[in-house]
Structures are given as C-alpha cells and as structure tokens.
Amino acid sequence: MAINGRQYDWEDITVMLPSGIAVGITEIAYQDGQSIEARYGRGAIPRGYGRQNYEASGSMTLDRDEWERLKPALVASGGGGIFDHKPFPIVVSYANDDMGTIVDTLPDCKITAIDQSSSQGDSNASAMSCEFTILSPILWNGVPAKTGSKLMI
C-alpha cells in the first residue's frame, strides 16, 4: 500500500473552550447516537421500528493549569459554582497541510463530572478529567447529527 501523505495527528487538533484555545489538553472524546427499538405485531419479525431519544456526551483531560484557566469562565457564566455554569460550545478542528480542515462543534456542553487522580511516578500528576453532556446535536464538520423534530398541530 502506498503512503499518501501525513494524516491527521494530535498536533493537528485545536480545541476551543470558553477560556480560549486549550493548550494543556491531552485528550478529548465525544460521541452521539439515537437508538431504535424494533416494533413487533403478530409473528417474530419486526413490523417497523420506533426511535428513542438522541443522546450526546464527551470527556476531556486537561492539565491542571488549563483547568484553572477554564474554571473562572465556567463560574462567571453561572451562579457561582462550577456545575452552575451555562451551556457552552466546544469546537474541535483538525487541520494539516495535506488535508482539508474539519471542524466539529459540540454545542451546549454541560460539565457533569470532574475527576483528579494521580499516583506515584505520574509524569502529569495533576491532570483533570471532565465528563460532559452535549445538549444539542453535534455538528460533524457542519452536518448535524440530528435535525429538529417536526411538530404536528
């Protein structure tokens, strides 16, 4: 198989948080989905399906100094506590010289859990892990994962 050039790598990723471009981020993950449930009538074969709710979530790992930059932005947007913050967007872009820029937008994120753990021998003993729920559909390079429901009146 021929080598066709450099692919996206961690150096090509830029993550924008409410506190600005995250420099001290070592991991970001996000996912979404919408389950379906088979609908049965007479017999053992599904007659159709029903859709369940759309769900999206993610996680990120930040160095402690990056967390300390993000924390005041969260507190300032809400009622004074970290978990009181207003939903905020996270923008993840992938760009290199060989390939086009891809921009994923995670709108309306709310941090739901924070974890800080370290052990002897860790080279980064102060990493902070954050889990978040994404309250609006992810835009995968501009394409929404789910469009709005149609209301019947």
What domains are there in the chain, each with its CATH number? Answer: 10-142 (2.30.110)
CA 111, CA 130: separation in Å to the nearest integer? 7
Cβ(101)–Cβ(94) below 8 Å: yes
pTM for this predicted structure? 0.84
Residue 12: the pLDDT is 79
Q: pLDDT tens digits, the chain, 153 residues: what are they?
A: 445 666 777 777 889 999 999 999 999 999 999 999 999 999 999 999 999 999 999 999 999 999 999 999 999 998 888 999 999 999 999 887 777 789 999 999 999 999 987 766 666 668 899 999 999 999 999 999 999 765 555
How much is the pLDDT for 79? 80
Q: What is the pLDDT of residue 49?
A: 95
CB–CB of 86/77 below 8 Å? yes
CB 146 within 8 A of CB 34: yes
Q: Do residues 103 and 142 touch, judged by C-beta distance below 8 A?
A: yes
Residue 73 half-sphere exposure toward CB, CA atoms < 13 A: 17
